[in-house]
Every structure is written in structure tokens, then in C-alpha cells.
Amino acid sequence: MQRCRWILVAFLGTLSLLTTKAAMADEGPCDRLFVPEGYELTCTVERKAHEDAWEVSVHPTDGAFASLSKLTLSPVDDHIANAETWLEQQVKIDVSGLDNALTSFLDDEDNPFAGESWWTSLQGLKDVVHSISDLPLDSCDDPRKISETDWSIDCEWGLGSLRQYLTVHLVERETVAYAIRIQSMNPRRHRHLQAIANSF
């Protein structure tokens, strides 16, 4: 009898988790985030091929450097035994945006800066972009608890005269865990994305 009770509790817990995920997906995940019009940001939802999985992306509407800044939000399916360890494992940088931006500038036949010394430095930066996808944790603050259920880690690296900012949140809403990832190379834009993350 006791075993049947535990099975029923586990079943109801799983059903509640799936129902919450489905309900949020139906109402539109972007509706759960407040994106001010003045920020010139767009919110899109990518539906995954399996189950009810999805990922929200908040990114600049346009601009030459739009691909360098992004917020993503998605449910976390894995059981997380230790929030601090999990956050540290998420410290990886997506360099595709930086690589694409540099490539578009460097490969443009009409660019008027090819002879400038800083342009040569920019070419050198592109050569090392692919080596910085796994940056050291020593440039990150310790993971910290920001509320009763939520955790966060903040990182900042120096890439010559450039800065790379990364913030990862692990939050819980209605018994469902979500990962919020914010990456930018502009401190002002990073603050904008942080404010949007806080609205979730």
C-alpha cells in the first residue's frame, strides 16, 4: 500500500511538470518576458524536434554587431543535484556571433580600413576566436543564490581592448527549472538583457 502511494505521488509530480511546461509553451514563452520597445530587441521561440522542448532567444533587431548579444531561456530537463556545480558547467562562450561579425567586415571588398593598423589587429583577433570557447572560471564570480529558488553566476573576460560578459541564471518557476543565459560584449546591452531576465 505504501509503495502504491509513492508511485502515485511520483506520477502526479511528473504530470504536474509536463502540464506546466505545455501550458507555458501554449501561451507563448515570450509572453513571460518583458521586452521594452526602446531596447530594439526581438524575442523569438525555437521549437525543438523532440517532445515539448523549446528555447526563447532575445536578441537585437538589427545592426552590424547584433549577433554578439543574446539572451536565451529554456527549460532544464536534467535533475540538478548541485546548483553551483551546474552553473559552473555552463560557463562556455558561443563565439559564432563574434566570428561571423569579424568575417563580414574582414571579407568585405569595399571596406576602407584595410590599411589601418587596428584592422590588422582585428584580423589577428579573428585568428584566435575559435580558441576562446572554453574560457577559465577564474574570471567568474562564485555562483550565488539570488532568491529562495534561484541561482546565478557572472563572468567577465578581457580580450585585448574588448570585454566578454556572460551571466547564467538557474531559476525555478512553478516547480519547473529554467536556464537563462545572457552573453554580450557591450556592458549597456548586457544590462538591458539582465533587466529582461529579471522580468521572468
Tens of each residue's pLDDT in the chain, 200 residues? 544 444 433 443 444 444 444 444 455 889 999 999 889 999 999 987 766 789 999 999 888 778 889 999 999 988 999 999 999 999 987 767 666 666 666 666 665 555 555 555 566 555 655 555 556 688 899 999 999 999 999 999 876 677 889 999 999 999 999 999 999 989 999 999 999 999 99
Q: Rounded distance, CA 109 to CA 149, Å?
A: 52
- Residue 140: CB atoms within 10 A of its CB come to 19
Amino acid residing at 160 = G
pTM of the model: 0.72
pLDDT at 43: 96
Would you call 50 exposed, middle or buried from its count of C-beta atoms within 10 A (0-12, 13-18, 19+)?
exposed
Q: Rounded distance, CA 94 to CA 180, Å?
A: 14
Question: Which domains are present in the chain?
Answer: 2-94+133-198 (3.40.1000), 98-131 (no CATH)
pLDDT at 155: 93
CA distances 21 to 49, 59, 111, 130, Å, are 15, 23, 48, 35
**Hey, what's the cell of 169?**
541564471
pLDDT at 151: 98
Q: Residue holding cell 590599411? A: 115
Q: What is the dihedral of CA 130, 131, 136, 139, to 10 degrees?
A: -60
pLDDT at 157: 84
Q: What three-state secondary structure class fits 135?
A: coil
pLDDT at 3: 45
pLDDT at 89: 92
Please state the length of the chain.
200
